[in-house]
Homo-oligomer: A and B are copies of this chain.
């Protein structure tokens, strides 16, 4: 027998499944999906029509249906939730881990949520899910689960194993067993490995590790991710203000957090205002993209007004217009480079940051070197190819040098200021700062040109 590897979804498989659904061939469908991983079944359902997906989900056991549900992509999931009865949702949520159940409830309208809650049969699970609803979605409380193994420090190994047996069905992956005192305060952790290797009557007290890293329930999920990364944790206990153990966060959820935050930053940088992807509707895509484009347009119109201000000079030296794109593009490129570096260093804070003034001096030095190299190059090229007089080449180079300096300054400080005000600093690499840089670049260019050329 061979180990089962990743499932490859073929068009033929999908078509045969659709035929089975059309014919209502229940046995065939169940057999086709037997042994297929829930994430793979979810990927199959994403490809089926809504009616077909719901039909398949209802054929499966509640546990499997619940496992599949949480793997569906958001668009399909929302459609499915709207299609099925609230009593079915309740039954499936009861099969989920509490954090996944809370996520599903958060997707429902208030009315549906109330109905689903009133349909719950399993009292423990419903209390756990309801507790999780109280926390902000982006905090430790919002991503933690209530399913974990807790051992009292006075227990021995046998008692702990009995607890594991009791919870075996609820807690799929154990990682660590958290050790608490009689007041449920977190004292430490003990690994399963240690439990296995210890004698049956060994007291937990004698084998647990009291150097456990925990996170407070209100910590931002991004910070939780950075703690787990720093300390290489596969799970982390969550405590409330009174040091009471209230939940556990596992690394698979953190993997999603890291990816989401990165995607968000990239979208912020590219001027897409909502979390969208290529598969969203034309309406949603347009709505996410238009606002920033509009800001760019308004910047462009302001720029046009600004250049218009120097119309007389421009009419005398038309060649000034030639270098407008060079100036604005370089300003933009320098600004984005600077802000990206700052954003990434903000994200990976070291214990002691370089002081602001040292960073500023270093940024200035890099900008001066880059500015000098680029300005000299442009000076040479303008003299060489455009046959203009040396003074004109000087104007372009000096303006370019000033723009590099200013854009670097803006690019460095905008994200720092945004971060201080609690705004995502990645926005500073986006269209807003690019637009501002364009305007500043134009201003510098024309002011330098007008004064040096005495126009």
A-side residues, CB < 8 A to B, are 1-6, 9, 11, 14, 35, 37, 39, 43-44, 46-47, 73, 161, 164-165, 168, 173-175, 185-188, 191-193, 195-197, 210-214, 225, 227-234, 239, 243, 250-252, 254-256, 258-259, 262-263, 265-267, 269-272, 276-279, 282, 285-286, 289-290, 292-294, 296-297, 299-301, 303-305, 307-308, 311, 314-315, 318-330, 332-334, 336-337, 339-345, 348, 350-352, 354, 359, 362, 365-366, 369-370, 373-374, 377-378, 381, 385-386, 429, 431, 434-435, 438, 442
Cα A227 to Cα B255 in complex, Å, equals 12
Kindly list chain B residues whose C-beta atoms are within 8 Å of the C-beta of A188.
3
- List the 3 closest pairs (A to B, CB-CB), nearest first: A300-B326, A262-B262, A321-B321
Cα A319 to Cα B309 in complex, Å, equals 11
How many identical chains are in the complex? 2
Contact, CB under 8 Å: B297 / A378 = yes
Kindly list chain B residues whose C-beta atoms are within 8 Å of the C-beta of A270.
269, 336-337, 339-340, 429
Which single member of B196, B278, B350, B378 contacts A341 (CB below 8 Å)?
Answer: B278
Cα A272 to Cα B340 in complex, Å, equals 9
Chain B nearest CB, measured from A295 CB (Å): 9
Which single member of B11, B230, B294, B326 contacts A304 (CB below 8 Å)?
Answer: B326
Pairs A–B under 8 Å by Cβ, sample size 29: A4-B213, A6-B227, A9-B351, A11-B352, A39-B231, A39-B232, A47-B351, A173-B191, A259-B262, A262-B266, A266-B340, A270-B336, A277-B341, A282-B369, A285-B341, A285-B366, A289-B366, A289-B370, A290-B374, A292-B337, A297-B330, A297-B374, A299-B326, A300-B326, A300-B330, A303-B322, A321-B324, A325-B325, A332-B434
